[in-house]
Amino acid sequence: MAPKGPASLKLLENALADESSDLPDPVREMGAVYLEQIARLTDVIERLANELEDASKTDCELRRLCTIPGIGPVTAGAVAAFAPDLDTFDSGRNFAAWLGLVPRRRSTGGKARLGAVSKMGQTDIRRLLIVGAMSVIRWVVRKGGSPNRWLAALVARKPRMVAAVALANKMARMIWAMSTKQEDYRMA
């Protein structure tokens, strides 16, 4: 028995290698097969991560997107791979709506009300943007403030997940603006 997680793999390796333990031979063999698979997959993942890191340093579009706080090489690569040409969207709001980050609008009697964010849209990029937004919010909370007054005020008055979705929406709009105008990130 060993705790979960990659940190305890060495403990399992040692237990399988220990000849004095009372583990049956089939269990040792299966454990060795699993450890070999984990080692191979770890190598493949590290190689792909290094390739993505190198691509984000050489490609100007990926490098530009990585300058936005909360967007790293994985998110920038996902936007480049999964999103259509961003010039096809009329505005950043349309791109954010395509991702599923825009609240539904309901109106009656001429009064518009914003509802919940729909779950429709491109889930992979939306999930990555929300995870990146949560990391930015975690940093803001840990530092006790942010140079971005909008974000600091939003985190102070809303639950963190609501603030993360709002920040992800804003990040999607920034991605659209930076990609269509071919500009670098500038903090407001």
> What is the pLDDT averaged over residues 53-69?
87
pLDDT exceeds cutoff 80 at 39: yes
Residues 22 and 95 in one domain: no
Is residue 178 within 8 A of residue 170, CB to CB? The reply is no
**pLDDT above 90: percentage of residues in the chain:** 31
Model pLDDT for residues 128-162, shown as the tens digit of each residue: 999 999 999 998 888 776 677 888 888 888 899 99
pLDDT exceeds cutoff 70 at 60: yes
What is the number of structural domains in the chain? 2
- Element containing residue 107 per DSSP (H, E): strand 103-108
Question: Residue 78 and residue 128: Cα distance in Å, rounded?
Answer: 8
Residues 162 and 90 in one domain: yes
Question: Residue 134 and residue 29: Cα distance in Å, rounded?
Answer: 42
Residues 45 and 32 in one domain: yes
pLDDT at 146: 67
> What is the pLDDT averaged over residues 47-71?
88
Task: Give the end of a domain, one of 23, 43, 58.
Answer: 58
Model pLDDT for residues 15-32, shown as the tens digit of each residue: 888 888 788 888 888 888
Q: Which residue has the higher pLDDT, 89 or 111?
A: 89
Q: Give the three-class secondary structure for 1.
A: coil
Task: Give the end of a domain, one of 38, 58, 78.
Answer: 58
pLDDT exceeds cutoff 80 at 113: no
Residues 140 and 159 in one domain: yes
Task: Give the end of a domain, one of 58, 73, 89.
Answer: 58
Residues 138 and 116 in one domain: yes
Q: What is the DSSP letter of 120?
A: -
Question: Residue 128 and residue 136: Cα distance in Å, rounded?
Answer: 12
Residues 98 and 11 in one domain: no
pLDDT at 188: 62
Q: What is the span of the domain harbouring residue 7?
A: 1-58
> What is the pLDDT averaged over residues 87-116?
83
Residues 125 and 164 in one domain: yes
* Structure token pair of residue 159: 């639950």
Residues 6+ apart with CB under 8 A from 112: 105, 106
Residues 53 and 65 in one domain: no
pTM of the model: 0.76
- What is the chain's Cα-based Rg? 22
Residues 15 and 92 in one domain: no
Model pLDDT for residues 69-78, shown as the tens digit of each residue: 899 899 999 9
> What is the pLDDT averaged over residues 90-94?
91
pLDDT classification of 36: cutoffs 50, 70, 90: very high
* Structure token pair of residue 132: 């990146």
